[in-house]
Amino acid sequence: MREVTNGRESQQTRQGSSRHAATYLYHDGARYWYCSPPSQRWQRNEQLARNPDKVVQELDKRVRADLRKTGDFPRVHALPQSGQDVPDDMDARLVVLGIDYPYSKDPGNAAETAAKAIIGSRPETRACC
């Protein structure tokens, strides 16, 4: 309980409650500081660090739900595990890779390598006529 007198907390109450409050060390580059309540961002990062599989499951669920709207593509393949998950048909289709295959501008990035593996797993077909 806090003792309030004329709208102000008593000095003893503030000191007593701060003595038991936890402090957290934050940093940003070369800056460091202490703060008693943890930020929401820090709390969320801690939760995610404890259960990273939950994050992957939530991302998969949201991506699959969003890709139900195919737009201009007759079919969309969400998060295939291999080239066998993408049938070899003649129509154009969109293939969305999972977070294990990030794209970057660097040649040979994980997304490009996975896309080449999917294409390379198809049997060679020759155009007729």
pLDDT in tens, 45-61: 888 788 888 888 888 99
pLDDT surpasses 70 at 75: yes
Domain layout of the chain by residue ranges: 7-42, 52-120
pLDDT surpasses 50 at 12: no
How do beta strands 75-78 and 93-96 pair?
A: parallel
pLDDT surpasses 80 at 100: yes
How many other CB atoms are there within 10 angstroms of residue 114's CB atom?
20
Q: 4: which strand partners?
A: 9
CA gap 125, 92 in Å, rounded = 16
CA gap 93, 77 in Å, rounded = 8
Quick check: helix, strand or coil at residue 95? strand
